């Protein structure tokens, strides 16, 4: 890896660096395959602040699909339940149009902040919806209905999701 990329990696992994966001953006614009692999490792790493910066850097690259796969893996990992909100927040930097089911799952099963942000994405992003997408969403909805983590939010989500799923089904009937 060239020295410029090494320098940028040292800056985003330095806990005392006050301009880490700027360096993450620069790293994303200059990233090559080797840098992409290292950024993906950092996304899955133990330091959530560095992982967040790696997500930010990856949002500036051509490897957004791979980055989104890694980010959703981190979001859905139970050990990151308390950090989900930060990782869902960085999703605003990405094209989510093909990720309806993933965002839907975050809305259903995420912590309060993650669920709230996911609801915003569901309301604002124009998703590519197919019959298969609807079937997958219904599968997750049925799982949620039978295994709610929070009984209190069940009625609210039911009032929002059932009309949404019905509207999507009507698009294909």
- For the cut 90, the answer to whether the pLDDT of residue 8 exceeds it is yes
Q: Average pLDDT of the chain?
A: 94
Residues 6+ apart with CB under 8 A from 173: none
pLDDT tens digits along 97-108:
999 999 999 999
74 touches 44 (CB < 8 A):
yes
Residue 75 lies in a domain: no
- For the cut 80, the answer to whether the pLDDT of residue 14 exceeds it is yes
Residue 152: the pLDDT is: 77
Output the DSSP codes for 6-36: HHHHHHHT-TT-TTHHHHHHHHHHH--HHHH
Residue 148: the pLDDT is: 78
Residue 74 lies in a domain: no
Residue 145 lies in a domain: yes
- For the cut 90, the answer to whether the pLDDT of residue 53 exceeds it is yes
pLDDT tens digits along 74-126:
999 999 999 999 999 999 999 999 999 999 999 999 999 999 999 999 999 99
Residue 5 lies in a domain: no
Residue 87 lies in a domain: no
Average pLDDT over residues 144-162: 86
- Confidence band for 32, pLDDT divided at 50, 70 and 90: very high
Residue 144: the pLDDT is: 93
Residue 156 lies in a domain: yes
Average pLDDT over residues 33-40: 96
- For the cut 80, the answer to whether the pLDDT of residue 1 exceeds it is no
Residue 155: the pLDDT is: 85
Residue 76 lies in a domain: no
59 touches 67 (CB < 8 A):
yes
Whole-model pTM?
0.92
Domain hosting residue 122, numbered range: 96-173
Report how many domains make up the chain: 1
Instruction: Report CA torsion sign: 88, 23, 58, 60.
Output: positive
Residue 125: the pLDDT is: 96
Residue 120 lies in a domain: yes
Average pLDDT over residues 44-69: 96
């Amino acid at each position: 890896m060239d020295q410029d990329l090494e320098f940028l990696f040292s800056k985003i992994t330095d806990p005392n660096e006050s301009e880490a966001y700027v360096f993450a953006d620069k790293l994303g614009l200059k990233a090559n395959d080797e840098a992409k692999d290292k950024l993906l490792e950092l996304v899955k790493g133990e330091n959530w602040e560095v992982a967040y910066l790696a997500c930010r850097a990856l949002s500036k690259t051509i490897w957004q699909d791979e980055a989104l796969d890694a980010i959703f893996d981190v979001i859905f990992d139970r050990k990151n339940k308390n950090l989900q909100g930060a990782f869902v927040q960085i999703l605003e930097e990405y094209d989510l149009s093909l990720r309806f089911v993933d965002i839907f799952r975050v809305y259903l099963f995420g912590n309060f902040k993650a669920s709230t942000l996911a609801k915003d994405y569901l309301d604002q992003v124009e998703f590519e919806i197919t019959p298969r997408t609807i079937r997958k969403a219904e599968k997750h909805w049925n799982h949620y209905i039978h295994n709610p983590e929070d009984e209190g939010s069940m009625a609210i989500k039911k009032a929002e999701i059932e009309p949404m799923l019905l509207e999507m089904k009507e698009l294909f009937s």
